[in-house]
Amino acid sequence: MKWITRERPKIDRIACPWLIKRFIDPAAEIIYVPFPDVITQAERLSAIPFDIPGVEYTHYQGQCTFDYFLKKHQLEDAALDRIAAIVRGADTDRHDFAPQSAGLEAIFSGLAHNIRDDQELLNFGVVIYDGLYSWAKDLYHLKHTQAGPAEQMLLELFNKYINKKGTQTTPGWVKELKALIQDQIDTNLSLTLKDLSKDLDINPSYISREFSRYFDNLSYGDYIRKLRIERSIELLKSSGYSLTEIAYLTGFSDQSHFTRIFKQQTGKTPSAYKKECSKSKNDSKS
């Protein structure tokens, strides 16, 4: 059986093929193509599309495509349930779902950065998910040792250094960070502090702690959500995209997640806002 999804996989689009090959269809062929070509190529190749809007195997109600595979194929396995929480947290930028989500996202961000061939990336990913499954099945209850004395000492020194700063001048990294976010927000709405701190060569913990002082008194997550909503408003006003497509294009896990955050930020649902925009356009023409 052939399965097809959009190119440049990172989290869900590697987790799902691993799940297919290990628990659903060992002989499965996984195909990656540019996003606009997924549906047409699926029809041409008789392949099942997944992890794109508007198909059966996709995100539902805050859960990712991996969750749907488990439900659809009735895969009742406590280890897979643990992996699902990790994948969901990494894929939707909700690292509170599982403490391992941040690490999974960091690993696959790094692999995707280093490996340009999607099939090669998938092969690496399968090995990683095999290891994650072994942990989730047999080792999840074990705890690793805490940070050693040297690490604790360095952390204490770092915090003392930060606490000694006495200037109110806006640091240079703030301007650079704003520029980085602005440069990437239209194409990469899954920006993480880890990614940005690497470009800035500044510890992500420091940026996280200082962020709200220079960015509208908002946390990093709230600031990115604000930019996502602003981008979605632009698309609601000027494009013919559906709400599902806008949710996808602006980095939300699904339409319900998009609707909930949009209403929190604006006091209106996206559909109501879109209707008001259409009415305003019609009134201006008359």
Residue 165 pLDDT > 50: no
Which of 92-96, 152-156, 162-166, 234-238 shows the highest mean pLDDT? 234-238
User: Is residue 104 assigned to a domain?
Assistant: yes
User: Is residue 122 assigned to a domain?
Assistant: yes
Span 246-255, average pLDDT: 78
Instruction: Let me know whether 227 and 200 are in one domain.
Output: no
Give the model's pLDDT for residue 73.
Answer: 96
Instruction: Let me know whether 115 and 244 are in one domain.
Output: no
Span 136-154, average pLDDT: 62
User: Is residue 144 assigned to a domain?
Assistant: no
Instruction: Let me know whether 77 and 129 are in one domain.
Output: yes
Q: Looking at per-residue confidence, does 173 or 267 come out higher?
A: 267
Instruction: Let me know whether 155 and 54 are in one domain.
Output: no
**Can you give the pTM of this predicted structure?**
0.53
Please give the residue range of the domain that contains residue 262.
222-278
Instruction: Let me know whether 117 and 245 are in one domain.
Output: no
Residue 231 pLDDT > 90: no
Residue range 106-116, pLDDT digits in tens = 999 899 999 99
Instruction: Let me know whether 210 and 226 are in one domain.
Output: no
Instruction: Let me know whether 128 and 239 are in one domain.
Output: no
User: Is residue 247 assigned to a domain?
Assistant: yes
User: Is residue 39 assigned to a domain?
Assistant: yes
Residue range 90-130, pLDDT digits in tens = 988 887 788 889 899 999 989 999 999 999 999 999 999 99
Total structural domains within the chain: 3
Confidence of residue 145 (pLDDT cuts 50, 70, 90): very low
Residue range 32-65, pLDDT digits in tens = 999 999 999 999 999 999 999 999 999 998 899 9
CATH number, domain with residue 258: 1.10.10.60
3-state secondary structure the chain: CEEEEECCCCCHHHHHHHHHHHHHCCCCEEEEECHHHHHHHHHHHCCEEECCCCCCECCECCECHHHHHHHHCCCCCHHHHHHHHHHHHHHCCCCCCCCCHHHHHHHHHHHHHHCCCHHHHHHHHHHHHHHHHHHHHHHCCCCCCCCCHHHHHHHHHHHHHHHCCCCCCCCHHHHHHHHHHHHHCCCCCCCCHHHHHHHHCCCHHHHHHHHHHHCCCCCHHHHHHHHHHHHHHHHHHHCCCCHHHHHHHCCCCCHHHHHHHHHHHHCCCHHHHHHHHHHHHHHHHC
Task: Tell me the pLDDT of the chain averaged across its residues.
Answer: 82
User: Is residue 285 assigned to a domain?
Assistant: no
